[in-house]
Structure 1
Amino acid sequence: MWWCIVNLPNGTQQAVKWDPKANGQECLEKVCLALNIICEMEYFGLEHWTPNQKETQTRQWINLRNRLSCDSGSSGSGIQLMLALRVKFWVPVHFILQESVRNLFYMQARRDLLEGRLSASDWSNAAKLAALLCQADGLRFNEAALRADCPMRMRRELAQQQLQQQQAQQQRHEQQRKEKEHVLSFKKRRLSKQKSMEHIENCALPLAATSCSLQPSPSTSTSANTSHTCSSHTHSNSSSSSPSNSSSQTGLDERLASNPLRMYEEYVFLPSHETSGDAASVPEPPADYLRQIATEHGKLAKLQMSPKSAKYWLLQSIQDLPGYGEELFSGVTTNESATRCDIAVGAHGITVCRGGEKQSIPFGAIAAAKSLRRTFKLEYVDDHNDRKELEIKLPKQPIAAGLYRSITERHAFYVCDKVRGVVTNQFTRDLKGTIASMFKEDTELGKRYVFDIQHTCREVHDQARRILHERGGDAAVRAEAADGAVAAAAAAATAVGAGAGSSCGAGGGSMAGKIDLAIREKEAREAAIERCVDTRISEAMQCKICMDRAINTVFNPCCHVIACAQCAARCSNCPNCRVKITSVVKIYLPPELRTSQSECVSGGSNTTNSHSQSQSEVSQEAELQLEEISVATATATATAGGSAAPVAGVAEPGGGQAKVTTAA
């Protein structure tokens, strides 16, 4: 038994033991068992993996029906084989029944988005997908991110300032150089004039010329001093500019360290662009791109979307992106022009790109396909029912065989109801197997199958449902599906309200429409609940006698609060319990209830102005009457005299009429 290292889509490694005589299917089953995958293994494939090697869209899948080879394994330390587990057949997310399988699909989609193998349609769609990645990874939304400065804008402003400083410095240096050249030219002219004069003097007085030549010329020393001064000044300028740039960079780093938008920088990926592949032509993201991600993340946080639901949303939204679930094969045509030709094999057919022109060929239009060494030949029927041929040459023979295998297996998996025997039984033999087959036709020696597909998409889904039902996994599946209730409810609401239309662009627009619709529905529900609460409160605080004014009194001794001051002045018994009222106390409601009640009253007064004016006049008269009654009662109590001062709202012994007092 040897050790096999399997690289997972999230970058981690899983170690399993494998038998050198076993085939690839046994190794895949061991890896899936370690990842708690009971069924749905047919969605995945294995390929040879080399650390620190960039992945491409051209996959070289290992045939799982054949014996594993150690071609790409690392020697030493007992590790003989290094493989990578990747998603081979992409299916709709609602087809996936196990959470562990859905997690692997999400890991692969996340890696393809961040590494550029899968691109968004535009920057807005990229921000929505990045927000879903943040929510699925469990990042907490910070409200301060919406008010923070965007790091991209800050870096660009700093770079622009540094560029302006460099340009200004270059202009100063150029001006100093011109001034220096002007001074030097003037010095040279003056020096040449002095030399000519000295030459004349030397001709006349050779001894005097000899003595003069021993002394340094003042103009030469002056020019040397001038050049030294200019060079030292230039050096000082350059040295002074470098500390300023370093200090500004240090200040920027300090500000970015506490910026809440920095957590979104690792989720920046470029959308698809119609360019020739030149890196210089790739557009830069908008300056507020990180704030767009934060805004979309805030919407998801407002919906309280769980990480499982975010993964479901992401897998559903990437289905509309260009290049989703496709394998790309690049080569050149075999004709005289030898133009570049790219063939992308997807779930519904192939897409041929030649000379900037794209042509979609469904699987039903393909008549024949075969590969011979590095050449691949395709025969198909075009839209005009004409038979066409396409022959391209690929870089290597395994790539040509991989293209032929990809087209055949994807057609069988996505389109057919059952894999035909002509596909499953196709094989090749090596030299030993060919010699052995001459003596025994059905020998297994040297046999290597061409295709490893054995079940279609429908068969895998039905088989997974049966296995989970036998294991009692239906409840678990329903629980996992219920966790994405927000996504399902929004999808259903979008399906119902599809006639209303939505302003969503292509490529992920349906996902954005569903999220916006879910947010609007939640806001509508919250507003309806708030209106219902306000209505119930306003109804509860209305006088139960006149059903018009607000309640502002309490009856003693029963303590019922059911009437306004005007109606309470006319009551001798409590309307609710029929107890004789001894006193009426004015109450003051909390400010929130008074505001709600005043809004209700003002809303009703807007319909009939005359009625509202009469209500306000009656209310003022009632309050004045209530105050007069309370003052008269207090005066009568004071003149009557007693051993103890009466308490407001307490009945006097012996009964009598009700006293109305105020209580703050």
Structure 2
Amino acid sequence: MMKCLVFQPNNCAIEVNIRNKAFGQECLNKVCDLIDIIEINFFGLQYYRNGQPYWLILRKRIDQQINARMKMIRLYLKVKFYVLPHHIQQNSTKHQFYLNICQYLETKVLKIDSEKRTKLIALIAQIEFGDLDEESYDLKILYSKWLSILFHSEQTKRLTSNHRSLMNNNNHKYRPYCDTLDIDESNTINIRNKSKTMTAASHDGDKNCDFMQRIVFWHQRYQGYSSHFAKNLFLKEALEINDLGVDYFSVTSNKKNLLVGIGPRGITINHSSNHNNDNIKLITYNKLKEIHHHRSSHLLNYNYIITINYNDETNLITEQKFRIYSEKDYYQFFRLINERRAFYSLPMIDQQTIVSNRFNSNFTFLNDLMQTLSSPTSLLNLTSSSSNKSTTLMNKKASIFDVDKTLKQFYDDVRRYIYHFNRQFDNVMLKNAMLVRQDSLLFHHSNQQQQHYTNSDITDNNKSLCKICLDYQIGIAFIPCGHTSCEQCCLNIKNDTCPFCKCEMKSKQKIFL
């Protein structure tokens, strides 16, 4: 057996035991089962090699991707396909989205306006602590923590390594910028600062108090929102960030260094190194027409080139070539384009062609790629070429994509599964209720019968008692009237007269019951 330690974004680890030759999908299924998630297709597993994160290929064995000699394999549960909250049907899935976005906000330098940052901080406070409490010290610590993260990111040291940021996250100490929060009757917010560092009336201190006022203002606006509703608003606000869920690659095109991102909206091409929005070009997935990947070698130098053809603004087909320096980045770049394009934009994916080729060793590279995303409505043509004609079988299997359903197909399947699960649950509950009712009816009926038998026995015993003393059984009958009494009462009768009818008794007869 092989042990895997899977870290969640909140630094909670899940230990799973899998087979030595297990595929990545088996590990992901076990992790999602432990955290009660059925919407598995949104998630993926990442591992780190030389400080660089890579997505684990779920349709490939884990020991072929990670060093199997390690005593315990470290993986990280990440959201691979970000979607809007109305596409998510499980609260546990939304919670994982929330944790991933919070980790993204902590580790990345964001290019968003200050108003959206204050909204995000207020929503986080509403999710974690509920309505605003000006006397809560923990709430002020949370304000200060996210103020230092979202408004002072350039001055704060950011660790690029994911696991290092998670390990050191709990060691940071945050001091509240403002010690007291006063809210008067007119709903105006007055902030009094008692710390010595803020009494200098510096410009940064004034800006911090201004940001704090906006955060408290938005937190007041969200008063009464439940944690679930606030989490939906948080996801909706956070998904408007352009860089969320984007994997970046350093490539070369026309002897220029570019930064290419593959995300939910499409392919972003940044022509500058400072992330200026004016130099970013977005190619949506529905504009893609063809993807060619080319691998050639000359002596010890390898060239990895990916060419995309897309429709530009004038509806003309434009060709863009990307040269990638690493083979691992080359395959991940090619896989992510096709997987995310298929998940977000294609109407349907044929699942049988994907699964049938999983263990087939005779397919060619071209046929594998064509069949992986084969769809009657697909507009994307995938081709491959190699100058040396010596693509290995491992490289062929490395291009088998992990996506087997589009967003629409996956959403419908989850809805259908939850519907049938609820129906089965309702049927089970109805059967249990009927069984309980039958048991109660049987118990009530048995009690009535037992009570009836008990009452009949009591009446029979009362009939055999003497009507004079009601203590002893009758044993003497008076003749000719036929009235009865016990032997003790019969001895006390005088004048041989029946005590009931006053008739003269001619004789007394002993009887046996």
TM score, norm. by length of structure 2: 0.58
Of Structure 1 and Structure 2, which has the larger fraction of its residues in strand?
2
Which residues in structure 2 correspond to 1:173-572 (within 5 Å)? Answer: 261-268=140-147, 269-270=149-150, 286-288=207-209, 289-300=211-222, 303-333=223-253, 335=254, 338-355=255-272, 357-373=279-295, 374-420=304-350, 424=354, 448-450=397-399, 451-472=401-422
| Counterpart residue identity of residue 454, structure 1 | D
Aligned match of 2:42: 43
User: CA 1:413 to 1:71, structure 2 compared with 1: closer, same or farther past 3 Å?
Assistant: closer
- The SS at the match of 2:208 is coil
C-alpha displacement of 1:387: 2.7
Whether the 8 Å contact between 2:247 and 2:262 is mirrored in structure 1 is yes
Whether the 8 Å contact between 1:427 and 1:448 is mirrored in structure 2 is no
| Counterpart residue identity of residue 46, structure 1 | L
| Counterpart residue identity of residue 108, structure 2 | G
Whether the 8 Å contact between 1:375 and 1:394 is mirrored in structure 2 is yes
User: CA 1:272 to 1:349, structure 2 compared with 1: closer, same or farther past 3 Å?
Assistant: farther
Aligned match of 2:442: none
Q: 1:101 aligns with which of 83, 93, 98?
A: 93
C-alpha displacement of 1:140: 6.0
C-alpha displacement of 1:364: 2.6
- The SS at the match of 2:397 is strand
C-alpha displacement of 1:379: 1.9
C-alpha displacement of 1:429: 11
State the alpha-carbon separation in 2 of the partners of residues 13 and 341 from structure 1: 36
C-alpha displacement of 1:425: 7.3
Offset from partner CA, 1:393-439 (integer Å, 9 cap, x none): 23412112212111111111111121257983798999xx68999xx
Aligned match of 1:587: none
Whether the 8 Å contact between 1:261 and 1:294 is mirrored in structure 2 is no
Give the structure, 1 or 2, with the largest relative contact order (CA under 8 Å, sep 6 or more).
1
User: CA 1:103 to 1:305, structure 2 compared with 1: closer, same or farther past 3 Å?
Assistant: same
Whether the 8 Å contact between 2:18 and 2:27 is mirrored in structure 1 is yes
C-alpha displacement of 1:109: 1.0
Whether the 8 Å contact between 2:5 and 2:75 is mirrored in structure 1 is yes
C-alpha displacement of 1:83: 1.0
State the alpha-carbon separation in 1 of the partners of residues 353 and 62 from structure 2: 21
Aligned match of 2:167: none
State the alpha-carbon separation in 2 of the partners of residues 475 and 120 from structure 1: 47
Whether the 8 Å contact between 1:344 and 1:351 is mirrored in structure 2 is yes
State the alpha-carbon separation in 2 of the partners of residues 120 and 272 from structure 1: 12
Whether the 8 Å contact between 1:45 and 1:62 is mirrored in structure 2 is yes
Q: 1:124 aligns with which of 115, 123, 136?
A: 115
User: CA 1:397 to 1:103, structure 2 compared with 1: closer, same or farther past 3 Å?
Assistant: same
Whether the 8 Å contact between 1:370 and 1:404 is mirrored in structure 2 is no
User: CA 1:298 to 1:364, structure 2 compared with 1: closer, same or farther past 3 Å?
Assistant: closer
C-alpha displacement of 1:120: 5.8
Offset from partner CA, 1:341-398 (integer Å, 9 cap, x none): 1222233422222246222222232222233353222222212233322122234121
C-alpha displacement of 1:260: 7.0
Offset from partner CA, 1:281-325 (integer Å, 9 cap, x none): xx979332233223322332xx22222222111011112222233
Whether the 8 Å contact between 1:8 and 1:86 is mirrored in structure 2 is yes
C-alpha displacement of 1:271: 6.8
User: CA 1:427 to 1:403, structure 2 compared with 1: closer, same or farther past 3 Å?
Assistant: farther
State the alpha-carbon separation in 1 of the partners of residues 32 and 257 from structure 2: 39
Q: Which runs of 5+ in 2 are unaligned?
A: 159-202, 273-277, 296-303, 366-391, 427-513
Whether the 8 Å contact between 1:131 and 1:297 is mirrored in structure 2 is yes
State the alpha-carbon separation in 2 of the partners of residues 425 and 25 from structure 1: 13
| Counterpart residue identity of residue 100, structure 1 | S
User: CA 1:270 to 1:259, structure 2 compared with 1: closer, same or farther past 3 Å?
Assistant: closer
How many aligned residue pairs are there?
336
State the alpha-carbon separation in 2 of the partners of residues 49 and 317 from structure 1: 29
TM score, norm. by length of structure 1: 0.45
Q: 1:64 aligns with which of 32, 41, 58?
A: 58
Q: Percent identity?
A: 24
